[in-house]
Structure formats: structure tokens, C-alpha cells
Amino acid sequence: MTSHSTFALAGQPHLASLLTVVRLTLHILAATIWVGGQLVVAGLLPTVRGLGQGAPQKIARAFGRLSWPAFWLLVLTGVWNYFAISHQTATSSWNAVFGIKMVAVLAAGLGAYLHTKASTPKARGIYAGVGTLASIAALVLGVALAG
């Protein structure tokens, strides 16, 4: 009975504190813009191309004005997340996944940056692919970290 009720308590749904709600909401809101925005812009590209020469570049620049602030908000709230967690109790697999996520975040930022600087369509496509896949990886690993 005792062990059963201990287990039930550990799995019991509970509300997050107000500060945790603020921290995670900002982190997730920024992720929706950074990751979701990339997927939406990619999906709209065939239509945007039909709007005339230079339209994809204009849309890309406009998206960059939203996505880069979201990226830096992810880094800022990510550091906040890291320090909000009790590290004495973190498992070695949590630490390993955190390390892999940091590599994914770096690849996401670098891929997106090089995508904006690439001079050939092939390089632009490759960097966009790397940036988007790494962004999705960071998202999945983040969900795993939140437990």
C-alpha cells in the first residue's frame, strides 16, 4: 500500500508554478516561430515563387526579422531552463541528451546563417535542410529533456 501510494504521488498531475509557466511558455513560443516558421515558409515557397522575381528573397528577409529574435529568445530562455533545473538529481542520460541538443542548436543556427549567405541554389538548399533538420532535432530533444 505504501509503495503503491508513493508511486501514485510521483505520477500525480500537478500544476507548474507561475514562473515555470512563463519560462517554458517563452521557450516554446520562440520554438514555434523558429521551427514552425521554417516549415511554413518552406511550404509556401512554390506559391511565393509565382509572385514574381525577388519575391522569395523578400519573404526570406521578412521571415529573418522574426526568426532570429526567436532564436536568441530560445538561447536566453534555454539558459534560464538549464539553471532552473536541479542538477544534483540530473541523470547521466539527461546530461548526454542536453549535450547533443546543444550540438543540434549550434547546427540549427549555423545552417540557417549559412543558408542566408550561400551564393548557389544548391548550397542554399543544403544549408536550409541542415538548419531545419537540426531545429527539429533540438525540438524533439527539448521535449525529452522536459521529461
Distance, in Å, from the CA atom of 18 to the CA atom of 23, rounded to the nearest integer, reads 9
108 binds ligand HEM (CB under 6 A): yes
31 binds ligand HEM (CB under 6 A): yes
Q: Phi and psi at residue 76, in whole multiples of 5°?
A: -60, -50
19 binds ligand HEM (CB under 6 A): no
Is the CB of 57 or the CB of 95 nearer to ligand HEM?
A: 95
128 binds ligand HEM (CB under 6 A): no
Distance, in Å, from the CA atom of 48 to the CA atom of 54, rounded to the nearest integer, reads 9
Distance, in Å, from the CA atom of 62 to the CA atom of 54, rounded to the nearest integer, reads 12
139 binds ligand HEM (CB under 6 A): yes
Is the CB of 40 or the CB of 51 nearer to ligand HEM?
A: 40
Is the CB of 51 or the CB of 143 nearer to ligand HEM?
A: 143
Footprint of ligand HEM on this chain (CB under 6 A)?
24, 27-28, 31, 34-35, 74-75, 78-79, 81-82, 85, 105, 108, 135, 138-139, 142-143, 145-146
